[in-house]
Amino acid sequence: MRRALTEADLAALAGDVPVGAVVLGPDGTPLATGHNEREATGDPTAHAEVLALRRAATTLGRWRLTGCTLVVTLEPCTMCAGALVQSRVDRVVYGARDEKAGAAGSLWDLVRDRRLNHRPEVIQGVLEDECASLLTSFFRTP
Ligand SMILES: [Zn+2]
């Protein structure tokens, strides 16, 4: 999560909402990182999770990220939750809850929806206060 927080800082430096993500391989080594790049790239889908998943798939040479864990500072949105299910990651670890748009336990629980064919394990609240305060201070800055 510390690594994801460092990524989130990079997003903020570019004027993007500070969200960072890391994909860990089956043995726990970091495969790829990502941070929100919507403002930097003008791409509405450039969320930290999507970018990290794409890079991890490139690193592994396959789209199926079985055995991998995605760590992200903020609870994934519906798009990212969908991407996590599609990528077949084993585990999703997140810091701050997103009561307004979260899709991993807050507003929705897409990743654990029994109607879907893949349901990653979810671990929430890791370094929650740090992850949340990064966002709060970003939105407070004029
Ligand atoms: Zn997202």
Residue 141 binned pLDDT confidence (cut-offs 50, 70, 90): confident
> 28 alpha carbon to ligand 1 midpoint, in Å?
23
Q: How far apart are CA 72 and CA 82, in angstroms?
A: 15
Residue range 56-90, pLDDT digits in tens: 999 999 999 999 999 999 999 999 999 999 999 99
Report helix, strand or coil for 122.
strand
> 11 alpha carbon to ligand 1 midpoint, in Å?
14
Check residue 114 and report its DSSP letter: T
> 129 alpha carbon to ligand 1 midpoint, in Å?
20
Q: How many Cα atoms within 13 Å fall on the side-chain side of residue 25?
A: 13
Q: Which among 37, 49, 75, 130 is annotated as catalytic?
A: 49
- Does residue 130 carry a catalytic annotation? no
Q: How far apart are CA 99 and CA 82, in angstroms?
A: 18
